[in-house]
A and B are shown apart, each in its own frame.
Chain A
Amino acid sequence: MTDALEVDGLSGGYDDYDVVSNIGLTVGASERVGLFGPNGHGKTTILNAISATLARRRGTVRFFGQPVDRARPQAIVAAGLIHVPQANTVFPDMEIQETLELAAWTPRARAARAENLDRVLALFPRLAERRRQLARTLSGGERQMLSIGVGLMCAPRMLMLDEPTLGLSPKLKDELAQAIATISAGGIPILVVEQDVAFVLSLVDRMYFVNHGAITREIGRRDAVDHDEIMAMYFGAGATA
């Protein structure tokens, strides 16, 4: 079976310098994969390069076998590779329900709009209670739910989530992790960026460590990684917590 996502030799950045270089990663057809690493080391940039929202990029990206590295962002969305961005306020002056309906923009998504809306509202009952509320008045947790809901309304064949639990309380984190697990159990492969190692380990089958714009390590669920080793990855060898 072809992988959902195959990335090879992907480099890119802003203005005239590269932020990430020679990224290679794969996500299997129903796999959950994590990207973790310190702040500012290029995790978001990698997702931007894949979703073509980064102007300066090169390398190959295949989505279910089809090359998409030259495609425009809207074509990538139409193909079903959906990027849910970091700390996004979506559309501040739109109501929740309006936002979700709008998100079913591509023809494929529009065809499944009613059914996906039911799914999203069932997954996040809190959004259902607040259909008529403006996005900018939502709490941080509700905003994250809306962002993920928007991603689901796009009729994803794969989701890329950028720090979906950033700044949330442990309780909300668990709630969102549950939701992500449900989505993934529905057969949608997921690439998720997270800072919190323990959290990401509970969520994924496999993860990549991003350091200074490169992938320096791949860790499987069964690889025993202890706390000290993670600390060493973050702060350099010799550091302990």
Chain B
Amino acid sequence: MTLDALATVLVSGLVMGSVYALMASGLSLVWSTLGIFNFAHGALMTLGAYLAWTLAGSGVLGLPPWIAMLVAVALVAAVGVLLERLLIRPFYGHRAMLLVTVMTTLAATVFLSKGIQLVWGPRLKELPALAPGNVSILGTSISAQEALIVGVAPIVLGALWAFLRFSSTGRGIRAVGQNPQAAQLIGIDVPRLFAIAFALAAALAALTGILIGSVRLVTPSLGDEPLIKALIIVIFGGLGSMAGTIWAAYLIGLAEALLVFTIGIYWAPSTLFLLLILVLVLRPQGLMGKVVR
């Protein structure tokens, strides 16, 4: 492998890894706080992209792309609050909460996708680029938009980490994830923090959806494949470990880029799956996972 080729693999792996880290972090947050998998995560990504399109120049409202993005993220966070209230809160403390919420969040996915198709139709939409043009990294030319994703991901993830580590709401979110009964006994309004965590995850989904939509096109199925990827990454990284999720995202992004380069796009996905399964056979708890709660 030449140095040039290595740089290409590295850069494209970084782009993929950044997208994966952003989309999986929200899913991971919901898992480690509420103890459920949110199957609506992908649909929330799609919704974010369409809302941003409507709000931005190419849509009807004509807001500047950055503003459109922020407003769309906030709107999807509000949808997250609503989903938590309607589809998850009724089942807190339910014996089969994990399974019941698989069903309710899948139902949300169906509603959201159908709703999106009704509102925006089947035609592809193009989001205005947040950063136009191309840049060259390590001798590899990529779109400025992709470079932006590589730069934004660590900032957003760093902010998420600092929020969870240092702010009192963030600490509260970790506390309810680790022991909701004990959290209740120090006066934490547990359902309220569940809702905040869920809304934050929805906002992260929207942000990822918008970033993906701005390098590809916006379609009603934009979030479908990323949802599956994000699930795999969260499991591979180790359930309950945000750091594990983020490591896994970048690792998988790089591995994928390397596989695509060496064995081609056709065999790369199945080979990647085999590799991940192999690792999980050797390390069932994932990269940094804890023993199942």
A residues with a Cβ closer than 8 A to B are: 51, 53, 55, 72-74, 77-78, 82-85, 88-94, 98, 101-103, 105-106, 109, 150, 153-154
Is A91 a contact partner of B185 (Cβ separation < 8 A)? no
Give residues 152-191 of B contacting A (CB, 8 Å). Answer: 168, 171-172, 174-175, 178-179, 181-189
B171 cross-chain contacts in A, Cβ below 8 A: 94, 98, 101-102
Q: B181 to A103, Cβ gap below 8 A?
A: no
Binary contact track B95-114/A, C-beta < 8 Å → 1, others 0? 00000000000000000000
On chain A, the residues within 8 Å of B168 by CB distance are: 102, 105
B15 to chain A, nearest CB (A): 32
Determine the distance from Cα of A81 to Cα of B121 in the docked complex, in whole angstroms: 56
Q: Is the CB of B175 within 8 A of A91?
A: yes
| Contact, CB under 8 Å: A82 / B185 | yes
Residue of A51, A98, A105 ringed by the most chain B CB atoms within 10 A: A105
A-B contact pairs, 30 of them (CB 8 A): A51-B185, A53-B184, A55-B93, A72-B189, A73-B185, A74-B184, A74-B187, A77-B187, A84-B185, A85-B182, A85-B185, A88-B179, A88-B181, A88-B182, A89-B179, A90-B179, A90-B182, A91-B174, A91-B175, A91-B183, A92-B179, A94-B175, A98-B171, A102-B168, A102-B175, A103-B186, A105-B172, A109-B187, A150-B182, A153-B186
Tell me which of B181, B187, B189 has the highest count of chain A C-beta atoms within 10 A of its own C-beta: B187
Asked whether A91 and B189 contact (CB < 8 A) given A102-B168, A102-B175, the answer is: no
Task: Give complex CA distance A92, B183 in Å.
Answer: 12
Q: In the complex, given contacts A73-B187, A92-B179, A102-B186, what are 9 additional A-B residue pairs having Cβ atoms less than 8 angstroms apart?
A: A72-B189, A74-B187, A77-B185, A91-B174, A91-B178, A93-B290, A101-B171, A102-B171, A102-B172
Of all chain A residues, which has the CB nearest B184?
A: A73
A98 to B171, CA, bound (A): 8
- In the assembled complex, the CB of A86 is this many whole angstroms from the nearest CB of chain B, namely 11
Counting from the closest, the 6 A-B pairs by CB-CB distance are: A77-B187, A106-B187, A91-B178, A105-B187, A74-B187, A103-B186
**How large, as a class, is the contact surface on chain B?**
10 to 19
Q: How many angstroms between the C-alpha atoms of A106 and B172 in the bound complex? A: 12
- The docked-state distance in angstroms from the alpha carbon of A51 to that of B168 is 23
* Contact across chains for A150 and B178 when beta carbons are under 8 A apart: no
| B211-227, CB < 8 A from A | none
CA A102 to CA B189, docked complex, whole Å:
13
